[in-house]
Structure 1
């Protein structure tokens, strides 16, 4: 298992205080938990993955996600057992949409 952490400062979009989980590890090999947190406008992402050695790909996927949503004061936890980048993006978008009710 590998743990990756990313932090993006100065997010623009705040969400209502709540937590949502989207997907399960057996569903596309990925689950995403998104919750509000006091992070001074930042968005933190923690990834626990069985696919060791793909940090560069994860960084690209998470950076693209942040560019689309620019979340502020949000913590995202991802548990992965080999999901493709497309599934990761889909699950992340679903998590945000479930909280704010709109699409990217």
Structure 2
């Protein structure tokens, strides 16, 4: 099991917690918790090793696009970068992201 941490500045609040996806073959779950801090923190736990650069690029793109003040936990079971991006965006939609 590999764990990665990412942090970027953020300035858009979210309304509530969210949970989307499942930890299963080729998928992942995303848990989002609102934060008062002006940053987005993402923790990724995955059983797939050797993809740190790919994870960093996907998470960085997501964080810069949405800038949501949140703590996000990603539990991966071999999801593709496209599925990761989809689940992250889906979690923010469920969380009631506000624009500022």
Q: TM-score, normalised by structure 1?
A: 0.87
Unaligned runs of 5+ in 1: none
Report the CA distance between 1:63 and its aligned residue: 0.6
Q: TM-score, normalised by structure 2?
A: 0.90
1:28-65 C-alpha deviation (Å, 9 max, x unpaired): 42000001134x21110000001111110000000110
Instruction: Kindly indicate which of the two structures has a greater share of residues assigned to strand.
Output: 2
Q: CA RMSD in A?
A: 1.6
Aligned length: 98
| Aligned residue in 1 for 2:13 | 14
Structure 1 residue 35 and structure 2 residue 68: aligned?
no
Report the CA distance between 1:26 and its aligned residue: 2.1
Query: How far apart, CA to CA, are the structure 1 residues paired with 2:49 and 2:27?
Result: 15
| Aligned residue in 2 for 1:2 | 2
1:57-93 C-alpha deviation (Å, 9 max, x unpaired): 0000001101210112x00000001100000000000
